[in-house]
């Protein structure tokens, strides 16, 4: 494991993106990388982290305010560490929306922060609609198409991030320990 954990910070409106962030952190831990998922709005200091994965729900091609504020607030620290970005949405399967544009803020952040990658994951129709548009989406979307989060794809991406972190901060063996047979 890296000497410091990886932060998986997220901004979520209806918990779907929070669930993705939790799954990313869990997959990274399973891959041997210490990772913690936290709401972006609750993070005040990045000095305790080796790297950051930052994600946001996307509505009308826009990242959530908390994710944008996180990137602004921690810009200097983020430029000095490995960063990966993810977006959650559209609610249909990503392969069904090959021309879905990357949210402009994500494109900008890749350049400004030197992020290693931005990936778009499918989202979920809100189960607790708060406005007319969300209620219409829930009503007009067949139940079997309401959740387009592809967990195997998300977990594979997280393991890839964990491998990149491990390559940068190789796990240290205790003095006198022998390498694992898989090494």
- pLDDT tens digit string along 60-116? 888 999 999 999 999 999 999 999 999 998 655 455 555 566 888 999 999 999 999
Q: Calculate helix-pair angle for 65-73, 104-113, nearest 10 degrees.
A: 20
HSE of 42 in the Cβ direction (CA atoms, 13 Å)?
A: 10
102 burial (CB, 10 Å; 0-12 / 13-18 / 19+) is middle
Neighbouring CB atoms inside 10 A of 108's CB total: 14
Task: Tell the residue number behind the tokens 């891959």, with chain if given.
Answer: 31
Residue-averaged pLDDT of the chain? 84
Q: Is residue 135 pLDDT above 90, yes or no?
A: no
């Amino acid at each position: 494991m890296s000497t410091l954990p990886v932060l998986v910070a997220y901004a979520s409106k209806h918990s779907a993106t929070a669930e993705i962030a939790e799954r990313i952190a869990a997959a990274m831990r399973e891959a041997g990388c210490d990772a913690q998922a936290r709401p972006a709005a609750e993070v005040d200091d990045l000095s305790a982290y080796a790297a950051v994965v930052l994600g946001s729900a996307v509505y009308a091609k826009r990242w959530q305010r908390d994710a944008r504020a996180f990137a602004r607030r921690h810009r200097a620290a983020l430029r000095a560490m490995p960063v990966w970005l993810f977006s959650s949405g559209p609610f249909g399967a990503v392969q069904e929306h090959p021309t879905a544009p990357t949210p402009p803020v994500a494109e900008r952040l890749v350049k400004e922060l030197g992020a290693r990658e931005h990936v778009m994951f499918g989202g979920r129709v809100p189960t607790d609609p708060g406005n007319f548009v969300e209620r219409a989406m829930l009503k007009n979307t067949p139940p079997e198409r309401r959740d387009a989060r592809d967990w195997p794809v998300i977990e594979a991406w997280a393991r890839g991030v964990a491998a990149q972190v491990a390559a940068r901060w190789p796990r240290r063996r205790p003095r006198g320990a022998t390498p694992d047979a898989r090494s």
